[in-house]
Amino acid sequence: MKIVKGFQANSNSNYQLNVIDLMKHAIRNYSRQEIASRNLDGTLFRYTYSDAYERMQRLANSLESIGIKVGDRIGVIAWNTYQHFEIYFGLPGMGAVMVSLNLRLAPQDLAHVINHSGIKYLIIDEDLIQVVESVIPLCKGLLGYIIITHKPLNEVETILKPIYSYEDLLMEALPNYEWLNLDENSAYAACYTTGTTGKPKGVYYSHRNVYLQAIMFATHFSMSVNDIIFQLVPMFHVLGWSKPQAATYVGAKLIFSGKWNLNDLEELTNIFVQEKVTASAAVPAVFMAMLEFIRKMEQKPDLTGARLICGGSEPPIALMRGFWDETGAEIIHSYGSTEAMAITTLNIFKPWLETELSEEELWNLKKKQGIIVSGLEIKIVDKNGKELPHDGKSSGEILLKGPWITENYFNAPQTVDSFTERGYFKTGDAGCLDSEGYLKITDRIKDVIKSGGEWISSIDMENSLMSHSNILEAAVVGIFHPKWDERPLALVVLREENKLTSKEEIRKHLAKSFAKWQIPDAIIFVDKIPRTSVGKLDKKRIRIEYGGQYTKN
Amino acid sequence: MKIVKGFQANSNSNYQLNVIDLMKHAIRNYSRQEIASRNLDGTLFRYTYSDAYERMQRLANSLESIGIKVGDRIGVIAWNTYQHFEIYFGLPGMGAVMVSLNLRLAPQDLAHVINHSGIKYLIIDEDLIQVVESVIPLCKGLLGYIIITHKPLNEVETILKPIYSYEDLLMEALPNYEWLNLDENSAYAACYTTGTTGKPKGVYYSHRNVYLQAIMFATHFSMSVNDIIFQLVPMFHVLGWSKPQAATYVGAKLIFSGKWNLNDLEELTNIFVQEKVTASAAVPAVFMAMLEFIRKMEQKPDLTGARLICGGSEPPIALMRGFWDETGAEIIHSYGSTEAMAITTLNIFKPWLETELSEEELWNLKKKQGIIVSGLEIKIVDKNGKELPHDGKSSGEILLKGPWITENYFNAPQTVDSFTERGYFKTGDAGCLDSEGYLKITDRIKDVIKSGGEWISSIDMENSLMSHSNILEAAVVGIFHPKWDERPLALVVLREENKLTSKEEIRKHLAKSFAKWQIPDAIIFVDKIPRTSVGKLDKKRIRIEYGGQYTKN
């Protein structure tokens, strides 16, 4: 859309929005605010914004000292820790680009991200060294590895070299750093999305994007210095769903969850209660497990006023009511994507709806994805790109545009179809908007499976299956799973001469291209795969016939 | 400061921040939210954001229909009304610049603003026509006048021509307007400051400036759709101290105060209570009068949770405690200026200070100007420009810089000294910052008088006095006034041969260059004006000797 020049304002057009400013101003006002971080042994490390800021400056000096320059891409593969938080500011503050690496990617995909982004150095949590070692043979251009560890460097076992100790580097560096005045369109970080078919695609967020998104989120989520924010969402996930930066903007207390999985939820729930957390975010599966644990507690914790953002998939009403009834905490449904920097909607009520709607209607309203945050433009379009009315019924593809919505994937000309000519991102999700502005996702257009908040491409998996010489035909669909919302299910037609091929062999074959968690639990041998009249895989019918696979006893 | 280019982010660098987007998104989510506006007869006009938005679109079409083009400057001289709110969005949305005119300016100053900004059309509240008529002979380039009135145009008595009716224009215009995609550095509005010596100086705010300031303010002031905001601050005052835009960002209810003065405070207080206002702003004199009225009410209103921003000068503890004790409303001290787009500080507590400080200490803390909002840079410097520590003691001139702080006055090269080479605005105020980031104003460096939140230049007034042929010497100082905080006091030495000149004659002389309210109530004839050893006016001694003029019975 053409940009029209008006009367030039004299006020100030050169001031650059740099993410490090969020931290500088937090230090001026909230230097004593606490930051906690869960250690591997379950204890909490505690320090202050002021302590963190000194280490961010040391980090910036360290990175320069080993030769990292403005514009260099640096990969980060780490758990939710205070060091990861330091990297969030110290690394982009000195002008480098933080490439957030999803530690759950399959090796080929991880290597692709490293090579495609041109990463020079990797910063790695010690216990993720093996993940990196397994992809190194596929990577090029890596100059060195910074290990986050408290061990002496010579006790770190690895084939990686050269290696540096994050802590040693910081200790040797100067505690003051003169932050650069970066052009605000310089990249702050990159996240690669694996949402659809093909290789992971890069979204490079500028300092301006991240700055604007942080203050938008702080406002919409009513964040303040009184908040205590539990960072559960992995920080490699679209910048941790925006909370670390927004929390810094308002000087809120932050608690980092450390390394965790669903088995740690009892411990995490205890932290939640003891630290009087007021805000957090996670996928439904996590909050489900947390609620289960809370239900078993003799004395139910009072979490009145806590806001829990729930995204990745639709939170069941039972989950939302459960939290409300047991603890007083409110689950807030949210919707987003890597391309939209995580927070696109938040389900927030308006005073008039609270008056007009019955309790039941309000609970149903809470299931919707919520209202599109201010700052973003949305269109719901039909197959021909025609805009549909906001009537709560007309469903079409959701297109998004805004100050922090990507307009293209980095260096991926083949993906031009993911964006419209007018700069809208095609989300691949179908939905409808009602007259009050609440979005409801009705379908997924792109054929992907969302398992525990993570994407699996069914088409890629079908292609992989069919590349096996014993397989004649294959179809992969996402079906309901009580814990992961969706899990892949594979239907396989073996060639007549290979009827003895085992499921184990097929799993091994898939493991060459997919991470372990992506591989279908259920692989079913069939004689024929349902197809539509025009010969396409009839996934609708497959889901009807086999949809109960993960709910059967 | 040099801007360093990092790695170019691919995400989105072309998306322009336009103020109209705040309204477009409010309409998507909050179209049913109410807006109220006090009529001249004291009743409340009510409509919705949706109604307002249609009229904004009609306004944009109207302005185009009479020949107004992108970049044209359009003056607005109006009370706090819903039409003024419509102009806030409709006018800059079609690319013109809204020049906010302070209806209290002296005719020469008002004419200077009109001529200096090159205003083509004026939008005028009907009962302010006389203000405009009085300055027209001094103005050039005006093409027409749009009158805000509900009367038929032929019943409007005025010498202005051609005139248009705001309401007729809107009625005749189309209700849909395709908003421009303006370069974000295009001017949204201009305010002229009369804060110091010389002619009023123009600050032209860009769309980007206003957009960023609005969301910053919404976050820092914890605004939400649940807020009911009473717009008491005149909307010609630095864009109404930012509230209309921030309220729109979050979809809060707005109430416009209409035309009012201190005599209307009983009526305004009643509106405040009846409409359950949650947020407002005013100078201390206004809240003082409001508190006086509340004290006389039989049943004290419960305003628990209401936040009242108090700026312009320091609110006395008695005022803050009074509101707290009588109503539960909290007075929040704020500091700002036209050059800083009003909100530079907000006095907000932090959880740890609420624990550590005694009640008495907290009340004293509330007297400080507050913490500098995130996004702004501050320096406290000594006479040589050397930065002073943030120790709560070291006092120096306050310098400000940030995304919405002006870096120069429009077309006023003689004012270059008001800014540093590194782009800081020199506020002319002296203050100190403590380690928690709270600012305390300790003195005023520029020699101006602040009366009821409005500026009067003592140097200009001295010059005017001394231009009178009968006057030998004159000094003007601001001294304490129980209602207006400060009022000017003039000491005058008459020439020997003119000892019979009356105060009345002097007032008449001043009225040629100053507005009525700016003229000193106390003019004292003296034989000699105290001077310092180097011959400068000894204003300190004058204040000591005559400081009680407005408190004597």
Q: Nearest C-alpha of chain B: how many angstroms from A550?
A: 39
Residues of B serving a catalytic function are 193, 339, 450, 455
Q: What is the pLDDT of residue A533?
A: 60
> Same domain, yes or no, for A453 and A437?
no
CB contact under 8 A, B11 and A97: no
CB contact under 8 A, B250 and A226: no
Whether B71 has its CB under 8 Å from any CB of chain A: the answer is yes
Q: What is the pLDDT of residue B291?
A: 94
Whether B347 has its CB under 8 Å from any CB of chain A: the answer is no
Q: Nearest C-alpha of chain B: how many angstroms from A372?
A: 8
CB contact under 8 A, B182 and A390: no
What CATH number should be reported for the domain holding residue B483?
Answer: 3.30.300.30
Q: Which of A2, A11, A375 sits opposite B406 (nearest CB)?
A: A11
CB atoms within 10 A of CB B550: 17
Cis peptide before A162 (omega within 30 of 0): yes
> Same domain, yes or no, for A421 and A474?
no
CB contacts of A3 in chain B (<8 Å) are 14, 16, 181-183
> Same domain, yes or no, for A160 and A211?
yes
d(CA A433, CA A155) in angstroms, rounded, equals 57
CB contact under 8 A, B216 and A215: yes
CB contact under 8 A, A28 and B371: yes
**Which residue matches tokens 């230090």?**
A27
CB contact under 8 A, B11 and A404: yes
Question: What does pLDDT average to in each consecutive run of 10 residues of chain B (553 residues)?
Answer: 87 90 97 97 97 98 98 98 98 98 90 97 97 96 97 96 98 97 97 76 96 96 97 93 95 97 92 97 91 92 96 86 97 95 95 96 95 96 93 94 95 90 91 95 76 80 87 90 90 90 94 91 93 72 89 71
Q: Using the 3D structure, point to which of A444, A465, A495 is the last residue of a domain.
A: A444
Q: Nearest-CA residue of chain A relative to B349?
A: A225
Whether A186 has its CB under 8 Å from any CB of chain B: the answer is yes
CB contact under 8 A, A11 and B97: no
Residue A253: its H or E element: strand A253-256
Q: What is the pLDDT of residue B456?
A: 83
> Same domain, yes or no, for A439 and A466?
no
Active-site position among A54, A167, A339, A486:
A339
> How far is Cα of residue A9 from the mean position of the Cα atoms in its chain?
38
> Same domain, yes or no, for B390 and B493?
no
What CATH number should be reported for the domain holding residue B395?
Answer: 2.30.38.10
Q: What is the largest CA-CA distance in chain B?
A: 78
Taking only the tens of pLDDT, chain A with its 553 residues reads 789 999 988 777 789 999 999 999 999 999 999 999 999 999 999 999 999 999 999 999 999 999 999 999 999 999 999 999 999 999 999 999 999 999 988 898 999 999 999 999 999 999 999 999 999 999 999 999 999 999 999 999 999 999 999 999 999 999 999 999 999 999 999 999 875 457 899 999 999 999 999 999 999 999 999 999 999 999 999 989 889 999 999 999 999 999 999 899 899 999 999 999 999 999 888 998 999 999 999 999 999 999 999 988 788 888 999 999 999 999 999 999 999 998 999 999 999 999 999 999 999 999 999 999 999 999 999 988 999 999 999 989 999 999 999 999 999 988 888 999 889 999 988 899 999 999 998 877 766 788 887 878 787 888 889 889 899 889 999 998 988 888 999 999 998 888 889 999 999 999 998 999 999 999 999 999 988 765 667 888 898 899 888 987 5
Q: What is the pLDDT of residue B75?
A: 98
Whether A413 has its CB under 8 Å from any CB of chain B: the answer is no
> Same domain, yes or no, for A64 and A87?
yes
Whether B7 has its CB under 8 Å from any CB of chain A: the answer is yes
* DSSP code of residue A372: E
Q: Nearest C-alpha of chain A: how many angstroms from B458?
A: 27
Whether B215 has its CB under 8 Å from any CB of chain A: the answer is yes
Q: Nearest C-alpha of chain B: how many angstroms from A418?
A: 13
> Same domain, yes or no, for A170 and A236?
yes
H-assigned helices in A335-484 = 351-356, 359-367, 458-466
d(CA A375, CA B23) in angstroms, rounded, equals 10
Q: What is the pLDDT of residue A358?
A: 97
CB atoms within 10 A of CB A542: 21
Q: Which of B13, B374, B403 sits opposite A12 (nearest CB)?
A: B403
CB contacts of B423 in chain A (<8 Å) are 12, 14-15
Q: Which of A13, A29, A182 sits opposite B185 (nearest CB)?
A: A13
Whether B1 has its CB under 8 Å from any CB of chain A: the answer is yes
> What is the spatial order of strands in the sheet that B471-481 belongs to?
B471-481, B485-494, B522-525
Q: Using the 3D structure, point to which of B444, B477, B502 is the last residue of a domain.
A: B444
CB contact under 8 A, B7 and A226: no
Q: Which of A5, A32, A224 sits opposite B222 (nearest CB)?
A: A224
CB contact under 8 A, B222 and A222: yes
> How far is Cα of residue B416 from the mean position of the Cα atoms in its chain?
23
Instruction: Judge whether A303 lies within some domain.
Output: no
B109 vs B191, B508, B514, B527, CA distance in Å?
A: 13, 17, 8, 32
Residues linked to residue A485 through DSSP beta bridges, in sequence order:
A481
> Same domain, yes or no, for B132 and B253?
yes
Active-site position among A24, A48, A158, A193:
A193
Q: Nearest-CA residue of chain A relative to B203?
A: A11
> Same domain, yes or no, for B528 and B397?
no
Interface A-B, measured as beta-carbon pairs within 8 A, has a size of 269
Q: Using the 3D structure, point to which of B260, B282, B315 is the last residue of a domain.
A: B260
Residues linked to residue A231 through DSSP beta bridges, in sequence order:
A256
Range of the domain at A84: 20-260
Q: Are A437 and A428 in contact (CB under 8 A)?
A: no
Q: Show Cβ contacts of residue A79 under 8 Å, excluding neighbours closer than 6 positions.
A: A125, A128, A234, A235, A257, A258, A259, A260
CB contact under 8 A, B3 and A372: no
Mutation pick from B4, B10, B184, B337 vs chain A, by most beta carbons of A within 10 Å, is B10
Instruction: Judge whether B380 lies within some domain.
Output: yes
Q: Which of A8, A73, A181 sits opposite B2 (nearest CB)?
A: A181
CB contact under 8 A, A9 and B187: yes
What CATH number should be reported for the domain holding residue B243?
Answer: 3.40.50.12780
CB contact under 8 A, A351 and B183: no
Q: Taking Cα atoms as reference points, which of A532, A510, A528, A527 lies closest to residue A519?
A: A510
Instruction: At A479, list the tokens.
Output: 């079906």
Whether B214 has its CB under 8 Å from any CB of chain A: the answer is no
276-295 of A, contacting B, C-beta below 8 A? none
Instruction: Judge whether A324 lies within some domain.
Output: no
Q: What are phi and psi of B550, to 5 degrees?
A: -95, 5
What is the domain count for chain B? 3
Whether A187 has its CB under 8 Å from any CB of chain B: the answer is yes
Whether A13 has its CB under 8 Å from any CB of chain B: the answer is yes
> Same domain, yes or no, for B381 and B234?
no
d(CA A74, CA A88) in angstroms, rounded, equals 11
Q: Taking Cα atoms as reference points, which of B436, B401, B335, B389 lies closest to residue A27?
A: B436
Instruction: Judge whether A504 lies within some domain.
Output: yes
Whether A407 has its CB under 8 Å from any CB of chain B: the answer is yes
Q: What is the pLDDT of residue A446?
A: 64
Q: Nearest-CA residue of chain B relative to A204?
A: B9
Q: Nearest C-alpha of chain A: how many angstroms from B99?
A: 12
CB contacts of B186 in chain A (<8 Å) are 4-9
Whether A69 has its CB under 8 Å from any CB of chain B: the answer is no
CB contacts of A70 in chain B (<8 Å) are 4-7
Q: What is the pLDDT of residue A452?
A: 83
CB contacts of B209 in chain A (<8 Å) are 9, 11-12
CB contacts of B411 in chain A (<8 Å) are 10
Instruction: Judge whether A496 lies within some domain.
Output: yes
Instruction: At A122, list the tokens.
Output: 């990797």
Active site residue A366: no
422-461 of A, contacting B, C-beta below 8 A? 423, 435-437
In DSSP notation, B406-449 reads: -SS-TT-GGGGGGB-TTS-EEEEEEEEE-TT-EEEEEEE-S-EE
Whether A20 has its CB under 8 Å from any CB of chain B: the answer is no
CB contacts of A206 in chain B (<8 Å) are 9, 11-13
* DSSP code of residue A103: T
Amino acid at B451: S
Instruction: Judge whether B310 lies within some domain.
Output: no
> Same domain, yes or no, for B72 and B221?
yes
Q: Which of B4, B12, B29 sits opposite A95 (nearest CB)?
A: B4
d(CA A208, CA B81) in angstroms, rounded, equals 35
Instruction: Judge whether A355 lies within some domain.
Output: no
> Same domain, yes or no, for B460 and B431?
no
